[in-house]
């Protein structure tokens, strides 16, 4: 059974844990770009939502989404390896989507590493569709698959 996961806004003290999880499970094989300082700046940025799910006071997962005029862009989303396939990622996405709808956003988009079949399946399962590829998007090393969810078509 999938538990009901509480999604909360991140606080400055979450920056280190988020940046380490990003380095370990998202940016592996690339140079580390989501440093503690960059994550802290996102937490402080009024046009960005940084959210976390905790399990027994430890970081189980997080997501970072930046708002533009009518679109929002998921910059990062990850779940700790020990906490996967329990609905944590879906809970984070559901929170972001509900908040984007309240903010009048039409479209949520994101990029995912082309080799990351698990994440592509996860986003598909959550209503995202593949749009196109961006060649060598990740530090010139790896292609990105660009995905989007149209909130008007999925109310
Ligand atoms: C992708 C990721 C965020 C999924 O998080 P999660 O909490 O395990 O996802 P959920 O439990 O909400 O999964 C919901 C559904 O998505 C699909 N799904 C999730 N992970 C999957 C995988 N590795 N392979 C295939 N389908 C997957 C399944 O349909 C799953 O439902 P099920 O468990 O009942 O079969 C997690 O594996 C992760 O952090 N990966 C590393 C970081 C990453 O790739 N981030 C995304 C790019 S920034």
Considering the domain boundaries, does residue 155 fall inside one?
no
Considering the domain boundaries, does residue 33 fall inside one?
yes
Q: What are phi and psi of 7, to 5 degrees?
A: -100, 130
Give the domain extent around 56: 7-150
Residue having the nearest C-alpha atom to atom 44 of ligand 1:
119
Considering the domain boundaries, does residue 88 fall inside one?
yes
The domain total for the chain is 1
- pLDDT the model gives residue 155: 62
Coil, strand or helix at 87: coil
Considering the domain boundaries, does residue 2 fall inside one?
no
Q: Which residues are catalytic?
A: 111, 123
Q: Is the CB of 2 under 6 A from ligand 1?
A: no
- pLDDT the model gives residue 113: 95
- pLDDT the model gives residue 2: 60
- pLDDT the model gives residue 38: 98
Which positions of the chain have pLDDT values less than 50? 1
Residue to mutate, 122, 130, 149, ligand 1, most ligand atoms under 8 Å from C-beta: 122
Q: How many angstroms separate the CA atoms of 122 and 89, rounded?
A: 8
Considering the domain boundaries, does residue 1 fall inside one?
no
Helix, strand, coil % in the chain, rounded to nearest 5: 30, 35, 30
Considering the domain boundaries, does residue 15 fall inside one?
yes
pLDDT tens-digit readout, 40-70: 999 999 999 999 999 999 999 999 999 999 9
Sheet holding 142-150, edge to edge: 7-9, 48-55, 58-67, 71-79, 107-113, 142-150, 129-138
- pLDDT the model gives residue 152: 84
Q: Per residue in 54-85, is it b (16+ CB within 10 Å) or e — as a string?
A: bbeeebbbbbbbebeeeebbbbbbbbbeebbe
Considering the domain boundaries, does residue 77 fall inside one?
yes
C-alpha 115 – ligand 1 centre gap (Å): 14
Here the CATH number for the domain that contains residue 118 is 3.40.630.30
């Amino acid at each position: 059974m999938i538990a009901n996961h509480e999604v909360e806004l991140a606080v400055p003290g979450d920056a280190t844990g988020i940046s380490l999880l990003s380095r370990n499970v998202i940016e592996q094989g690339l140079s580390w770009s989501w440093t503690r300082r960059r994550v802290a700046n996102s937490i402080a940025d009024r046009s960005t939502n940084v959210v976390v799910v905790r399990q027994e006071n430890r970081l189980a997962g997080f997501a970072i989404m930046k708002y533009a005029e009518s679109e929002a862009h998921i910059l990062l989303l990850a779940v700790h390896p020990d906490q996967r396939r329990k609905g944590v990622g879906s809970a984070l996405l559901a929170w972001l989507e509900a908040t984007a709808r309240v903010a009048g956003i039409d479209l949520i988009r994101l990029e995912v590493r082309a080799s990351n079949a698990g994440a592509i399946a996860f986003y598909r399962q959550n209503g995202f569709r593949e749009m196109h590829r961006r060649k060598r998007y990740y530090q010139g090393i790896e292609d990105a698959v660009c995905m989007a969810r149209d909130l008007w078509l999925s109310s």
